[in-house]
Structure 1
Amino acid sequence: MNYTASSYYLDYETPEIQNIIKEFTSETSQQELIKKVYLKIRDGWRYSPFKIGLTQEHFKASNIAKKTEGHCIDKSILLTACLRALGIPARLHLAKVANHIATERLEKKLGTNQLAPHGLVDVYFNGKWVKSSPAFNKELCDMYKVDVLDFDGTEDAVIQEYNKDNDQFMAYLEDYGHFEDVSIDFIFNTFKSNYPMFYHELKGKTEIDF
């Protein structure tokens, strides 16, 4: 499998993605590249789980790049595309998680604090794959008293289980594995199987706005 290839979704040849990575093209250290691009995506796009696209176009990295915020899958797609654009192997990884803080708005619609699928990014560095989660920007972490998640390619950096008050923040429930490209059918089918009644209400819509 080619984990540095572009695709319809990971369209890193586009001006939108090239504009993001242009400040890093003179960096010679692959580890520094991974660290800096991760921080760019983590903090450059505010995390918001309240808008979810229902079209293929929504999940194109170049379209995500035009926005100022995104949910975990959006930001993971964007990070994957940027890393591949710099020649660093990367792939989308999906899971199911439970969100234990500030979930009232989501639970009202979904009937649960479980979110599926949740997006991460696998990065290949120093002969091994490591997981990273670029979802939670620094401002959000400060707001909910959660340690900011950093990543330099040397070890997994996944969502924080507890905040600084030792309250449960997030928990992984199920690992769906990794994907060479954005598997739009898997994403939609996972959403449908986890929220069948809510999904039925979405026919004809192009976006969910909570």
Structure 2
Amino acid sequence: MDIYLKETRLLDFNNLSVQKLIEEKGWKELEENHKIREVYSFVRNEIKFGYNKGDDIIASEVLKDGYGQCNTKSILLMALLRTLDIPCRIHGFYIDKKMQKGALTGITYLFAPKKIVHAWTEVYFNHEWIALEGVIIDEDYLNQVKDKLYNLNNGYIGYGISVKDKEKINTCWQGKSTYIQSFSITEDLGIFNSPDDFFLKFNNTNNGFKRFLFDVLRKRINKKLEIIRSSSYDEKISKSR
């Protein structure tokens, strides 16, 4: 299991800010199940759903940003788990961009690739690998958009969410896999020991122009997501009519 505990360039868990967080939270003193629960809950709700400047940014930068999406939240989650001696790996996919409608609109949705690179962390617990996709969407945001999801192919999608049954969403850690975007997966890209290996091969912002364009547009996206999260989005839409 040593390979699933290694520090990498992206999993920079010896960074001072990461170690300070671990110490302040007292996570090292917990037993394994509680370690996973507390770290998972922190990344899910304290690191808000939002878009960073790229998929392949280091864990300490995601922590500093205070927000992330599937790929960057996976990087931070893995770094925190590994520094607590919890084995973890990354599982990659392509996902249909239609599930991003609402979160991405206008030109941002237009420029998004049809097949978006998507990943989740898998943690080794109770002698099995468990998927932690549910970490992507924070509870405040989920509560605001749950009733805005639209039906497609016998599931519910939109606003960065894609589920079979919107009434049965449960993204809390209970020792089992959690899912929040998996209904829109179109292709399995395989399992990787580290995010470094995965994003070297698959990346949504794999050239300088794409990275620059997204870095400009994401600020507008994140501002909109915060409006949605604060429950003022419906009020804003009503006033514009």
Band of TM-score, shorter chain = 0.7 to 0.9
State the AA in 1 paired with 2:62.
Answer: I
- Of structures 1 and 2, the larger Rg is shown by 2
Q: What are structure 1's unaligned runs of at least 5 residues?
A: 162-169, 193-198
State the AA in 1 paired with 2:68.
Answer: G
What is residue 20 of structure 2 aligned with on the other side? 19
Secondary structure at the aligned position of 1:25 is classed as helix
Task: Map residues 30-41 of structure 1 onto 2, 5 A cutoff.
Answer: 30-41=32-43
Q: What are structure 2's unaligned runs of at least 5 residues?
A: 147-165, 218-241
Q: CA RMSD in A?
A: 2.5
Deviation at 1:155, TM superposition (A): 2.1
Task: Give the TM-score, by structure 2 length.
Answer: 0.68
Q: Deviations over 1:109-155 (max 9, x none)?
A: 2264x4x2112101001111111111101111111115351124x32
What is residue 171 of structure 1 aligned with on the other side? 184
Task: Map residues 47-196 of structure 1 onto 2, 5 A cutoff.
Answer: 47-49=49-51, 51-53=52-54, 59-98=57-96, 99=99, 101-102=101-102, 103-105=104-106, 106-110=108-112, 112=114, 114=115, 116-133=116-133, 134-145=135-146, 147-152=169-174, 154-159=175-180, 170-182=183-195, 183=197, 184-188=199-203
Q: Is the 8 A contact 1:45 1:70 kept in 2?
A: yes
Instruction: Work out the number of aligned pairs and report it.
Output: 186
How many Å separate the matches in 2 of 1:206 and 1:63? 20
Q: Is the 8 A contact 1:149 1:160 kept in 2?
A: no
Verify: 1:202 aligned to 2:210, yes or no.
yes
Identity of paired residues, percent?
22
Change (3 A) 1:129 1:138: same
